[in-house]
């Protein structure tokens, strides 16, 4: 099974890397593909340029030669829709199952994703725990039809994914790191110590870029 972990990575931090690596191990993934998104011109640009986001991501994963940084959304440009990325990967790897890895905060917004229900015909979804985001409150408040659609797909254990090629949702506990790129950006501007949240060389490069 191939794992796909998308994000803006503005900048990358341990809250991205550690959960993604823990899923790679827990699901015994044949590949872990990290997919930085491209930002459409009509939205606020990220704090870092595309080149800087990519540079830091490469640097953060330099010790993990088995993790692939997949640049297809950057090359495609424009709005990055996960459905397009999954279709592209499906075409490239027709014989492998795909699983999309997202944090609980991203899962809470999934019903607003472009063609969101079609995602489940292409991949499994693995939702990782994230401090500050509890599933129960959110699911209780959602539209009944969407609730039914999602809850019917939930499985309780990794082994329940493999008999199916696509369409299941697994909630998986991962190392809990209470950090976000937003807090790192604010911390750097405030001169707070954000060093602990990323590999040292990423921190040094980030300081060079921003100070």
What character string, x for contact with ligand ATP (CB under 6 A) and - otherwise, covers 59-98?
----------------------------------------
* Cα-based distances in Å from 175 to 23, 47, 159, 166, 192: 10, 26, 20, 25, 23
Half-sphere exposure of 146 (CA within 13 A, CB side): 15
What character string, x for contact with ligand ATP (CB under 6 A) and - otherwise, covers 125-154?
---x-x------------------------
* Residues pairing with 155 in the sheet: 170
Position 3 contacts ligand ATP (CB under 6 A): no
Residue 137 beta carbon to ligand ATP: minimum distance, rounded to whole angstroms: 17
Q: Which of 1, 2, 17, 19 binds ligand ATP (CB under 6 A)?
A: 19
Q: Which of 1, 4, 15, 169 binds ligand ATP (CB under 6 A)?
A: 15
Q: Two tokens at 114?
A: 């472009």
78 φ/ψ sector (left φ>0, alpha ψ -120 to 50, else beta): left
Can you tell me the distance from the alpha carbon of 23 to that of 191, in angstroms, rounded to the nearest whole number? 33
Q: Which of 34, 35, 99, 102 binds ligand ATP (CB under 6 A)?
A: 102
Which window, 25-33, 91-99, 143-151, 179-187, contacts ligand ATP (CB under 6 A)?
179-187
Position 105 contacts ligand ATP (CB under 6 A): yes
Q: Output the CA angle 192-19-151, nearest 5 degrees.
A: 120
Q: Which of 3, 7, 56, 119 binds ligand ATP (CB under 6 A)?
A: 7
Task: Yes or no: say if 68 and 33 are a contact pair by the CB < 8 Å rule.
Answer: yes
Q: Two tokens at 28?
A: 């015994």
* Cα-based distances in Å from 166 to 1, 14, 70: 11, 28, 21
- Nearer CB in complex with ligand ATP: 3/205: 3
Interface residues toward ligand ATP, by CB under 6 A:
7-10, 15-16, 19, 102-103, 105-106, 128, 130, 177, 179-182
């Amino acid at each position: 099974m191939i794992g796909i972990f998308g994000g803006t990575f503005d900048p990358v931090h341990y809250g991205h890397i550690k959960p993604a690596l823990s899923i790679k191990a827990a699901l015994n993934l044949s590949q872990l593909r990290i997919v930085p998104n491209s930002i459409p011109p009509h939205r606020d640009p990220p704090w870092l340029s595309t080149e800087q986001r990519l540079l830091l991501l490469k640097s953060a994963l330099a010790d993990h030669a088995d993790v692939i940084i997949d640049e297809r959304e950057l090359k495609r440009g424009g709005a990055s829709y996960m459905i397009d990325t999954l279709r592209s990967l499906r075409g490239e790897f027709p014989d492998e199952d795909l699983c999309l890895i997202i944090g609980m905060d991203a899962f809470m917004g999934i019903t607003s994703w472009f063609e969101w229900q079609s995602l489940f015909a292409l991949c499994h979804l693995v939702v990782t725990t994230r401090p500050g985001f509890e599933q129960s409150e959110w699911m209780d408040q959602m539209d009944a039809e969407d609730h039914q659609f999602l809850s019917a797909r939930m499985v309780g254990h990794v082994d329940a994914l493999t008999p199916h090629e696509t369409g299941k949702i697994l909630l998986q506990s991962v190392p809990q790191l209470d950090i976000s790129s937003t807090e790192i950006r604010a911390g750097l501007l405030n001169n707070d110590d954000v060093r602990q949240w990323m590999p040292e060389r990423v921190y040094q490069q980030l300081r060079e870029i921003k100070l």
